[in-house]
Amino acid sequence: MYLDVVHLRAFYDLPLGSLLRSLIGAPIHKMWPDMKGKSLLGIGYAGPFMRPYLDSAERAIAAMPAPQGAVSWPRERDSACALVEDDDLPFPDAFFDRVMLVHALDHCADPAALLREAWRVLAPGGRLITVVPNRRGLWARSELSPFGYGRPYSGGQLKDLLKRCQFNVLEDKEALFMPPSSKRAVLRAARTWESVGRRIWPVFGGILVVEAEKVVFQSLPSGGRKSRLHVLRPVFIPEGVATGLKPVRSVHRRVDV
């Protein structure tokens, strides 16, 4: 079940939310360092992580699911927010170059249906980034952030889901190695936690950040030169004389099809 959008916006306005936006945004920016000339769609509540691309992206739209609710985004410009059904996005096929899923796969009722819609609106070869809580991490067990309320994933579970929905996984990263706490001492040492955790216990990061590419299967040609296949079709030829019939003899004739 989706969290209310008012609570999500309030969380990212807090010092802890601002810190998480920076720590989780770091691997996202490494995967997508430039968005110049590209169109970007965010599904769920991806606005805080889409903001760095506002000035470079050709188009950036925040699609907020109806069960979550919607707020104006971005605040300082004309709104580029749309209230949507996550399994029936109101966009044409192959409309976006990039799709970002944040607070989406872990909260929606049907993750596969959501990914199929993301696949549909992505251009061939388009890329997707999804951010979900790590089943092994501490943040999935804490209600201090929105990541403690959704459905956590292991790395293998998330990759299998993406592959079933026709995505090829390109890269996966972990983030948020600091313990879930809003204490100032922990927040001040957050980047130290990130550096140490990435080296010592990388599989226990609180968040999984996975990049995948849309896979389009090539269909077999329907036209062109037809192949000739020789098959044997039985033909029954009766043999008889005037006084009666003898048993039917079966022979085969070659037929081109």
- Which sequence spans correspond to the domains of the chain? 5-214
Mean pLDDT comparison of 33-37, 99-103, 177-181, highest-scoring range: 99-103
What proportion of the chain, given as a percentage, has pLDDT over 70? 84
Q: How high is the pLDDT of residue 257?
A: 46
The CATH code that applies to domain 5-214 is 3.40.50.150
**Per-residue 3-state assignment (H helix, E strand, C coil) for the chain:** CCCCHHHHHHHHHCHHHHHHHHHHHHHHHHHCCCCCCCEEEEEECCHHHHHHHCCCCCEEEEEEECCCCCCCCCCCCCCCEEEEECCECCCCCCCEEEEEEECCCCCCCCHHHHHHHHHHHEEEEEEEEEEEEECCCCHHHCCCCHHHCCCCECHHHHHHHHHHCCEEEEEEEEECCCCCCCCHHHHHCHHHHHHHHHHHCHHHCCEEEEEEEECCCCCCCCCCCCCCCEEEEEEEECCEECCEECCCEEEEEEEEC
Give the model confidence (pLDDT) of 188-238 as tens digits: 999 898 888 888 887 889 999 999 999 987 544 444 444 444 445 554 455
Cα gap 236→59, rounded to integer Å: 70
Cα gap 80→61, rounded to integer Å: 5
Asked if pLDDT for residue 109 goes beyond 90, the answer is yes
Global pTM? 0.82
> Which of 68-77, 149-158, 174-183, 215-224 has the lowest average pLDDT?
215-224
Asked if pLDDT for residue 55 goes beyond 60, the answer is yes
Mean pLDDT, the chain, rounded, equals 87
Cα gap 255→193, rounded to integer Å: 75
